[in-house]
Amino acid sequence: MEGRPEGGGNADKYIVLGVTGSIAAYKAPLLVRAIRDAEIGVKVVMTDAARQFITPLALEIVSENQVLWDNFQSPLSHIKLAGNAAAMIIAPATLNTISKFSTAIADNLLTTIFMAFHGPVIIAPAMNWRMYENPIFKDRLAYLKDKGVIEVPPERGTLACGEEGVGRMASVGRILHTLLRTLGSGDMKGLKVVVSSGPTREYIDPVRFITNKSSGKMGHALARSASLRGAIVTLISGPTSLLPPEDIEVIRVETSAGMQRAVLEKSKDADIVVMAAAVCDFRPERFSPGKLSRTESFNLSLNKTTDILAEVSSQRGTLKTPYITGFAAETGDRKDRAREKLHSKGIDMIVFNDVTAKGAGFDSDTNVMSVITREDELFIPEMPKGDGANRIFDIILRETGRGCS
């Protein structure tokens, strides 16, 4: 590929993407694009069979790197690529290539690089469900996983052959999430984190409810951040149109009562609880089981809902003692109210945000926050909610003695 610039994505960090001979190879360019969007360069290596399904040219264009498939195309490429890559992903990974990996066969460029590579390897199998269920293959796959190879398991669905079963390659989002988690700091590895997110709905009758403007973006960003840093995350989410982050347990709730049940249950053995949900403070005093007619006029009386943060805080010590963070969404500079909540609810940290401030607020992609602990106060200036979520966990880790900064 003379004359074409090398090093798409971040030139310093690249992964080797192995593409093998499955019909799912048509998804490889989308995966390359997603990895590059995460600012990681991609160097593609194909098998001969893969070139029957997709052209090297397509992958060369999206990766902006030379695509290799032959050991003799670029001498010593197997050593050079293996030496400097941050990780290897094989997607799609055929039964044939996975089995070769597990028996140390190096008969093409991809299998040779695999044998020379000592970093993390992620495989995304794609095949007919009967092949995936084959007991000999299952043994080979288990052996590889035992040696540290990370599998992004295939999903159930209609397969290329028209049959239904488990064998469809995992989504691009899941493969990317696994890569980012693998390359992440791992500083939250093993920690159990519960995040609540989104609004709640409090029903007036079966079709009408009161709610608030929360989009769930901050809570979802927190869940994703903790997961990418290695935590075992449970996201308890009120109604939102957001797709949940990959590979985390999601519990969907609708009302403040549902949120309360799920949060109390999941917090029992959590290390960190972050309550980013905008739980309705009030619910209708009476629920009408039949739809109210517009001919009836009525007054809406509201009662306070349970203070979930205070409840979680009061159950501390029964099993574990989680570090509890609450969010205080206020209009205007009411840090005083946030600080008061920190003390009255007996929690460890409160994140204050003025939802009317520029660059902050419910549906915004950015946030501006003040993190208030019992001894300290830190300002997080306007930044994407994902970066803000990372800052919050940096502070939590430092407060709990796990962080280094």
Q: Name the minimum Å distance from CB 123 to ligand FMN.
A: 11
131/383 with CB nearer ligand FMN:
131
**How deeply is 160 buried, as exposed, middle or buried, from its count of CB atoms within 10 A (0-12, 13-18, 19+)?**
middle
Q: Name the minimum Å distance from CB 374 to ligand FMN.
A: 56
65/96 with CB nearer ligand FMN:
96
Question: Which residues lie near ligand FMN (CB under 6 A)?
Answer: 20-24, 47, 49-50, 94-97, 126-127, 131
Does the active-site annotation cover 404? no
Please state the length of the chain: 405
136/243 with CB nearer ligand FMN:
136
Nearest CA among 382, 389, 333, 327 for reference residue 360: 382
49/257 with CB nearer ligand FMN:
49
Contact 212, 280 (CB under 8 A): yes
Residue 351 burial (CB count, 10 A): 26
- Of the candidates 161, 300, 302, 319, the residue annotated as catalytic is 161
Q: Name the minimum Å distance from CB 61 to ligand FMN.
A: 21
50/204 with CB nearer ligand FMN:
50
Contact 98, 151 (CB under 8 A): no
Q: Name the minimum Å distance from CB 204 to ligand FMN.
A: 52
Q: Name the minimum Å distance from CB 150 to ligand FMN.
A: 18
Contact 24, 126 (CB under 8 A): yes
Q: Which run of H or of E encompasses 78?
A: helix 77-84
Q: Which run of H or of E encompasses 275?
A: strand 272-275
Q: In what order do the strands lie in the sheet with 323-330?
A: 249-252, 232-237, 192-197, 272-275, 323-330, 349-354, 366-373, 377-384
Q: Which run of H or of E encompasses 173?
A: helix 172-183
Q: Name the minimum Å distance from CB 98 to ligand FMN.
A: 8
95/141 with CB nearer ligand FMN:
95
The rounded radius of gyration (Å) of the Cα atoms in the chain is 25
**263/266 Cα distance (integer angstroms):** 5
* Residues assigned a catalytic role: 161
